Amino acid sequence: MTETETKRSLSFEDFRAEVLKDYTLAVVSRECSLLGRREVLTGKAKFGIFGDGKEVPQIAMAKAFKNGDFRSGYYRDQTFMMAIGQLDIQQFFAGLYGHSDLEHDPMSAGRQMGGHFATHSLDENGNWKNLTQQKNSSADISPTAGQMPRLLGLAQASKIYRNVTGIENKTNFSINGNEVAWGTIGNASTSEGLFFETINAAGVLQVPMVMSVWDDDYGISVH
């Protein structure tokens, strides 16, 4: 039985539980955005940028995102990070306030602006973790569309892992190149050359890459 078929055979109770869980996450994430923005506007947080309005497609994306996959995205992806279990409410606000303890802000210990998401590829001793056993995100950078070339590289890595032998520690990074790289970008940022170059190169290289454009009709705050 495939995974999709298993999902289709969910009982009504399980299906209802999943819908309610998704709805709860969407509401929690929305409330985080509204409260976070209020904290910024009243001067309690230095800078804030939030994911309201983009909750549902991110929950859908998280359902298809598997262990070993990589996200290369941008600052609107809080709901996705919550949905893959890499961000909770406490950590969201610790990031907003720039908490300098990694225990509290696991994204960057306050070194990045809030809304810059990441997962850890190294353990506390500096050794590689097994990235095929976790859901991964490269660390967000601030220049719009800067996440695009890295997305392409992550997707190309999967393809290379299918053919290349002799890579040290290979099984920690890839299972026969079966991983997918997931990109997110805002509509305005698709004007950047990096976006076009990445789409073009992905077509030429034929790599396992998904591109999601969060099209809200705005370039952050300008219509």
List residues binding Mg ion (CB under 5 A).
186-188, 216, 218
Contacted by 143, from Mg ion, ligand TPP, none: CB < 5 to 8 Å by type: ligand TPP
- Which residue's CB is nearer to ligand TPP, number 60 or number 188? 188
- Residue 206 contact, options ligand TPP, Mg ion, none, Cβ 5-8 Å cut-off depending on partner type: none
Smallest distance, ligand TPP to C-beta of residue 142, A: 5
Residue placing its CB nearer to ligand TPP in the complex, 22 or 216: 216
Which tokens hold the place of 6?
A: 């298993």
Is there binding between residue 218 and ligand TPP (CB under 6 A)?
yes
> How far apart are the C-alpha atoms of 26 and 3, rounded to whole Å?
24
Question: What is the distance between the alpha carbons of residues 202 and 173, in angstroms, rounded to a whole number?
Answer: 21
**Tokens for 33?**
């955005």
The partner in contact with residue 85, picked from Mg ion, ligand TPP, none with C-beta cut-offs of 5 to 8 angstroms by kind, is none
Nearest distance from residue 218's CB to ligand TPP, in Å? 5
Q: Name the minimum Å distance from CB 51 to ligand TPP.
A: 9
Site string for ligand TPP, 108-147 (x = CB under 6 A): ----------------------------------xxx---
Q: Which does residue 137 touch among Mg ion, ligand TPP, none (CB within 5 to 8 A, set by kind)?
A: none
Query: What Rg value do the Cα atoms of the chain yield, rounded?
Result: 18
Determine the residue with CB nearest Mg ion.
186
Query: What's the Cα-to-Cα distance from 122 to each of 130, 139, 173, rounded to whole Å?
Result: 9, 13, 12
Binding to ligand TPP in span 169-188, by CB under 6 A: 186-188
Which lies closer to ligand TPP via its Cβ, residue 53 or residue 203? 53
User: How many angstroms separate the Cα of 12 from the Cα of each of 16, 47, 60?
Assistant: 6, 43, 19
Residue 128 or 218: the one with the smaller Cβ distance to ligand TPP is 218
Among 189, 202, 207, 209, binds ligand TPP (CB under 6 A): 189
Residues contributing to the site for ligand TPP (CB under 6 A): 76, 142-144, 186-189, 214, 216, 218-220
